[in-house]
Amino acid sequence: MAFPEDIKRVISSLAKKTFLDQRDAPPKGHLYFLTSGVLGIFARGHPVCSGLIVPGSVHGWETLLDEGEWRETRALLPCEGFSVPLEPLRKALSDPWMFRFLAVHAVARTRDAATEASCNAIHTASQRTAKWIMRLHRAVTDPKGILITQARLAEILGFQRTSINASCGYLKDRGAIEIRRGRVVVTDVEKLRAICCSCDTHREPVRRPLHRQPEPMRA
């Protein structure tokens, strides 16, 4: 993100390295510049994840619009980043550049929420599981895989445990992933991409298989 120079100077003087363990929330009243890990977005009081914040992104803009109360943000995977108190930045951020940025941010958030709702309604459990594993895989650089259990995947996708077990078994049988103790390892990105639904085509092209395979029941 290309900040104006005056904002860069303020941010650099206030930034503090901040680690989040799984399920921790970023500090309130701060911008959180995520450098590694993944944050999940949740409707307040609900366990199902509606979106991700990945490395290179900044959490906390909603506070400027007073729109943060409807949702919660928690670490899905251990996160490292830099937190910057928002209050000293308010004056520096109240310029046309920031209003334009927030408008783009709001449009993208609305688009992603609509896409996620449609996906939940029309795509199979295995397609949606593949999509979320692909999202996490793109955000994680650990060669040992994604530090997440099937139970946690079921929780954030809103699946029953039997559905996530069947979906992960389907992906494993097709050589796309391996399930290890507390981790999901992507063994073949192309095979995983072929099973994904097409909802993330604005993020990365998705190649569809020539012939559909039998898939587990919908969650």
Q: What is the CATH number of the domain that holds 141?
A: 1.10.10.10
Which of 87, 118, 149 lies at the terminal end of a domain, its last residue? Answer: 118
Residue 216's pLDDT is 45
| Same domain, yes or no: 178 and 113 | no
| Same domain, yes or no: 96 and 10 | yes
Total of domains in the chain: 2
- At 178, give phi and psi (nearest 5°): -125, 145
Q: Which strand ranges, in their side-by-side order, compose the sheet holding 39-43? A: 49-53, 39-43, 71-75
Residue 211's pLDDT is 35
Residue 1's pLDDT is 53
CATH of the domain at 35: 2.60.120.10
**Low-confidence spans in the chain with pLDDT less than 70:** 1-3, 64-70, 92-95, 97-121, 201-219
Which of 89, 118, 147 lies at the terminal end of a domain, its last residue? Answer: 118
Residue 47's pLDDT is 83
Residue 163's pLDDT is 93
Residue 120: Cβ within 10 Å count: 16
Residue 39's pLDDT is 93
Is 203 within a domain?
no
**Residue 72 sits in which domain range?**
5-118
| Same domain, yes or no: 129 and 51 | no
Indicate the pTM of the whole model.
0.74
| Same domain, yes or no: 65 and 155 | no
